[in-house]
Amino acid sequence: MGVLWVAVKAEPRVFAVSVLASALYAAMTVATAQVLGWVTEHVMLPAFRSGHTTAGALSGAAAAIVGVALFKALGVAGRRYYAGLMQYRMQARYRREVTRQYLRLPLAWHHRHPTGQLLSNANADVEAAWAPIAPLPMAVGVVFMLLIAAVSIVATDAAVAVVGFLVFPAIALLNVVYQRRLSPVATRAQQLRAEVSEVAHESFEGGLVVKTLGREGSETERFAAGAEALRDANVAVGRVRGLFDPILEALPNLGVLAVLLIGSVRLESGAMNAGDLVHVAYLFTLLAWPIRALGWVLAEVPRSVVGWTRVRGVLDAGGSLPFGTDGLDAGRAAALEVSGVRFGYEAPGGDEGAGRDVLRDVSFGASPGRTVALVGPTGSGKSTLTSLLVRLVDPAVGTVLLDGVDVRDVRRGGVAEAAALVPQQTFLFDDTVRGNVTLGLELPDERVWEALRLAQADGFVAALPGGLDTKVGERGATLSGGQRQRLALARALVRRPRLLVLDDATSSVDPQVEARILRSLREAQAAEGGGGATVIVVAYRKATIALADEVVYLEHGTVADRGAHAELLERSPGYRDLVNAYERAEAERDGADGAGAVEEAVEAVEGGEGAFR
């Protein structure tokens, strides 16, 4: 009742109209039985006794029946339309609320909740929560109908009414047993539906890994196990419904038989007339179907409560990022200062104590317009630090300052306007090049091309069949890895950020193109005279690192050293070994590629000579 009351409070007018329409239907249902009883007693039986009737009597009977039917149809149409309107409005409202909450919740919360579960919350759970809304006005109308019918039956014949009314408590008791049996199996089915969605989404996301490693069979088995468990749970729900539905259908009909049996005895004794018996028996016949509407609502209640509980779990989730009211300066590169930052991820179960610190006491700064390289071995916290700089997450301890303002005190959207992150994993939408670069911003093509030139992407974009209007496919499937990275970089640059954070954003680009990209960024900074961007770059290549004004060397989540690249090579053995290892690995990879190219060339020449001979 609490779940249903939420809907009633949200749409009181629509609910009121639907209930009024249902009440009209209920009243006309009872009126139908009364009209048929009157027609039987005053038109049909006199005609049988006398052997003839009049056109006026038949016309009056037909007019009464048709008039009641028209009002009944109006009630049905109004009830169904407004009940459906209420249901779809509630589903739309809570889909929006759930997805808005997803956007409000911090990235740390999303790390603990699989995407498949989130999709199920926003779709299947919302639908389940408001499934009882469609039959609800009908059920309310049934209550009104039962009251009218009870008065009408008692006024007609109290003895028959007593026999007939035994059916109603039997139905109520059966529904109570029904709900207790159905609720646990419906809960399990709803949970399994989310788990199957989670497995499917994960398999689609990892499609490339699955196919390249030949794991289609194991993924099929993993999905099949979840699908079979969901099938079994749905079958269990069907068994419960299959057991109780026939009994619920039969009880009103048994009531009709009991009324006819007792009524025929009363009719023979002269205690009631034929019209009264037709009236009461037909009324019970009509009530058999509306009473099932109560069962429909009750049948949906377990799934509704489960769905609502899961939806409320999202809406009540804490940890949303608070915002202040401060603004940031515009028109010049940002000053960045990181002071005493500590951050750790929570364990999957949400137990903070089970997590571990990824960053500890990290402090460094970047003056406006400067380029700082973050260098460190895998797992040293570089990517986590980039998320803190653009406030995807907040540190547990310490501060991140932009232009001297704590990012937690900046107004909503302020950090996103000033800073841009190009992450390791490039994501492109199934949209045009222009759409992927602008992401909804109304920008002139000249500005888009300017960003593409800075990202060294203008050449291949100009060569595409439709230029800026070329669709790149899902996740940019029609482009190479390096092309996708350059479009993602252009997406950040077109916004003219004051702080640009590159998390290994050119790893799929060859060193020559990467050097041109970084050189174009430096030239743009110099041309704008401090009005460009402060650049923080996670770097591995020595040539890239050498372009930075300062290097921050991370080890085990702490700043092990910082300074110019040449200085760190001199005084930090760990930094020197790491950078040289990166350089040797890249040289070996380039050498292997070159050797492969030579072998291919030799084979081509030999093949050509054979053909010539």
Give me the long-range contacts of 242-246 (CB less than 8 A, separation at least 24).
244/174, 244/177, 244/178, 244/181, 244/182, 245/295
Comparing CA positions, the residue from 409, 414, 384, 413 lying closest to residue 399 is 409
Fold of 336-346+356-570: Rossmann fold (3.40.50)
Segment 379-417, tens digit of pLDDT? 888 888 888 888 888 888 888 888 888 888 888 878 888
In this structure, what are the phi and psi dihedrals at residue 256, rounded to the nearest 5 degrees?
A: -60, -45
Residue pair 311/94 in contact (Cβ under 8 Å)? The answer is yes
560 pLDDT above the threshold of 80: yes
User: Hey, is 554 helix, strand or coil?
Assistant: strand
Topology classification of domain 2-315: ABC transporter transmembrane region fold (1.20.1560)
Q: pLDDT digits over 492-522, tens only? A: 888 888 888 888 776 666 666 766 777 776 6
DSSP code of residue 123:
I
Half-sphere exposure of 341 (CA within 13 A, CB side): 31
Average pLDDT over residues 469-487: 81
User: Looking at residue 179, what is its pLDDT?
Assistant: 72
Tally Cβ neighbours within 10 Å of residue 540.
20
Winning range, highest mean pLDDT, from 502-511, 546-555, 586-595 = 546-555
Sole residue written with tokens 């039987």: 40
Express each pLDDT in 185-210 by its tens digit.
877 887 788 788 778 877 777 777 77
Percent of the chain with pLDDT over 90: 0
> Residue 159: which of 19, 326, 272 has the closest Cα?
272
* Secondary structure (DSSP) of 256-268: HHHHHHHHHHHHH
Which one, of 477, 484, 525, lies nearest residue 507 by Cα?
Answer: 484
Which residue's entry shows tokens 């497995």? 199
Predicted TM-score of the model (pTM): 0.62
- pLDDT mean over 457-473: 83
Strands 397-402 and 558-563: unpaired
Q: Which of 380, 504, 384, 516 is nearest to 457 (CA)?
A: 516
The predicted-structure confidence for 22-80, as pLDDT tens digits, reads as follows 888 878 877 887 788 788 888 888 888 888 878 888 888 888 888 888 998 998 898 88
Q: Could you tell me the maximum CA-CA distance found in the chain, to the nearest angstrom?
A: 124
